[in-house]
Each structure stands twice: as structure tokens, then as C-alpha cells.
Amino acid sequence: MWCSRIALRRFQRIAVTPLNITGGLTSNVQREMSTLPRVYVTRQIPPEGLKILRESGQVQFELWDSDDAPVPRKELLQKVKGVDGLVCVLTEKIDAELLDAAGPNLKVLSTMSVGFDHLSLDELKKRGIRVGYTPDVLTDSVAELTVALLLTTSRRLVEATHEAKTGGWGTWRTLWLCGYELANSTVGILGLGRIGVAIAERLAPFKVKKFIYTDIAPRPELASIINAEYVSFDELAKQSDFLTVCCALTPETKEICNKDLFSKMKNTSIFINTSRGGVVNQEDLYEALSTGQIAGAGLDVTVPEPLPTNHPLFTLKNCVILPHIASASYTTRNAMSALAANNLLLGLRGEPMIKELKL
């Protein structure tokens, strides 16, 4: 597992040597710049990535200079026309329509995300477009947030804060705001990868009794790191006191967490999702939470995002919802942007990317 700070320094070192221009741009330099590959950046990505692009001397780029709202689709379709490279984030749907708008010059796509469900991989493969992404550097921050969300949900911290603020804190009561503790519990992991391992490593000091997991197939090398036992999907549901979802969103995992799963879980179980909202059937989750079928749920991801404020899940005291902030640390987001920038530059040079999706 990589430390984010070490990873960030590594990615910064990989950046190509910047131009050294001491005076005004000469006509020769201007002509050279006009022939550089054109790149569009769909968001004001964190400064480390933009710095790498600016100082590379390898590309001319334009960006949607806002972090508050995605670039409007109509404008995005205009801006990508004729570009050689594209840097995007998970809010942009990269589909046939956009790729048609971009045209045949587009050779490299770099997404500042570990997930790639916003990308039409078949279309990208068909057109021979290389794809970079940003796994690994966000492992630590996502694992930390998952643990924080699990504890917040299981120990009812949002409820408790509300009661303290609004006058509900009266005399000491024996069972008021009681929750569920990790000591002697069974923690289940749906989709065991680096993030699942990192979550388990952080939970182990809480005296967890057993870690179990399920995946497409057993993953003995990763499981041995945390002494986790491979079980069936049904057994994961039945045995887990805490079930954390770490799988990617694919056609096979879409709404895999549904009524069937929740019906097999204990009524004292806590469900945590920091992967993708699409792996959960939210109507079934609401039913399970509102009827007491499971004890609580903590979500960092939903469908859609943002979740409308009048959504039924927001009415439940036993559901904690965060606005997709698992990787939201300064270190991690800068490391992600640096990796996205370097993936793009290496791809445009025809060299191996640091992290490339094999289509």
C-alpha cells in the first residue's frame, strides 16, 4: 500500500521538464505552442495537476475554470472538438456522443477517479483511445473515511449531536442512544481490494473478532494480510455485524445490495457503502432501515448525486448520508490530479502511463 504523500512526491517528480521562458513569447515559441497537442480539462482540478500541465511545455490546454459546478454538457461537446487529450472527473459522461464530438484526434483520456463507470469503455476501446485513471493514491483517505462513517453510524453520532443541540439531552438514561460496538464483531467486506484491506487494517485494533469477504473469486494473497475468510454472498450477509461495500460498479454488481441481501442480514447489522451508489437498490435499503430489518446504514455515495433533499432516506435517523467525500483530503486530491496529469502527458507521448486501464 502506498502512502499518499510519498505517492504525490513521486508523481510530481515524473512531470516533464518545464519550459524556461525568461522574456516575452517569440514568434517561434508562439508557433511551436500552436502545434502542441490540444487538451481540454473538464474541471478546475487541484493545483498540483494544473502545475504539471502548465510547466510541461508539452500541451496547450483549456479548462472549465470552476470547482462548484460541472461544465454544461452543451459546452463540453463544443470544447472537446478536435482535442488530442481530455482530462475529466467522474461527473462527466464520456460516451459515444462526446467521442463523436471530439473527433478522431482524441487519443488519450485521463480521468481523475478510481472508478470508471462514467466511461463508455467499449466505445473508447473501439476508437483506440487510451485511458488513464487514479487508483491506489486514494486508498488511505477512503479507508479512513469508511471507518469514520462506520463509527458515526453505529454509535449514532449524528443523532446524538442533534439531541445535544436541540434540547433532547436531559437526564442520563440507561439505553438512550445506544449503538453497536466493533469489539468481538464480524466485519464483512464486499469486494476485497486494496481499499478493503486498508479498512480492515484500521478496524483490527478495535478488537474485531473476524473478517470475512466475498468477491468474484477468492483472493488469498490480499486476504492473508488481514486474516480474512472467503465466504459466499449469502454467508457474508448472514454473518456480518458490519458490512462494508468496496466493489466497483459493473453490470454484475449493479444493485447487488438489494432486498435479498438485506433480508438475510441481522437486525443489529450496520451497512456501509463508500464505493458507488449504483451497487445499492435504495428503495430496498429504505425498506430495510425503516422496518428495522437492519440497524443502520452509512452512505458516502448515492443515486443520483447529489441526492435530492426530499429523498426518503434523509427522513431516517438510522441513515447517515455524506456527499461523496471519501477521497476528500488535500494530500489525496492533489495526488490524484498529479497522477491524472502525468497519465495524460505520458499517453500523449506514446509511453506507458503510470496507471492505465487495460481495455
- The residues that are catalytic are 324
Q: How many residues are present in the chain?
A: 359
| CB 214 within 8 Å of CB 231 | yes
Q: How far apart are CA 218 and CA 238, in angstroms?
A: 19
CA proximity to 324, closest of 357, 263, 262, 277 = 277
What would the DSSP string read from start to end of 165-204? HHT---S--SSTT----STT-EEEEES-SHHHHHHHHHHG
Place of cell 455485524: 241
Q: How far apart are CA 240 and CA 253, in angstroms?
A: 19
In the three-class reduction of DSSP (H, G, I as helix; E, B as strand; rest coil), residue 101 is classed as: helix
| CB 253 within 8 Å of CB 227 | no
CA proximity to 336, closest of 69, 68, 114 = 114
| Main-chain dihedrals φ then ψ at residue 130, nearest 5 degrees | -80, 145
CA proximity to 106, closest of 125, 120, 127 = 127
| CB 41 within 8 Å of CB 63 | yes
- Indicate the DSSP class of residue 279: G
Residues whose CB is less than 8 angstroms from the CB of residue 295 and which lie 6 or more positions away in sequence, other chains included: 154, 180, 266, 267, 268, 269, 270, 318
- Indicate the DSSP class of residue 349: T
CA proximity to 102, closest of 137, 132, 76 = 76
Peptide bond into 46 cis (omega under 30): no
| CB 327 within 8 Å of CB 303 | no
> Cell for 114?
478510481
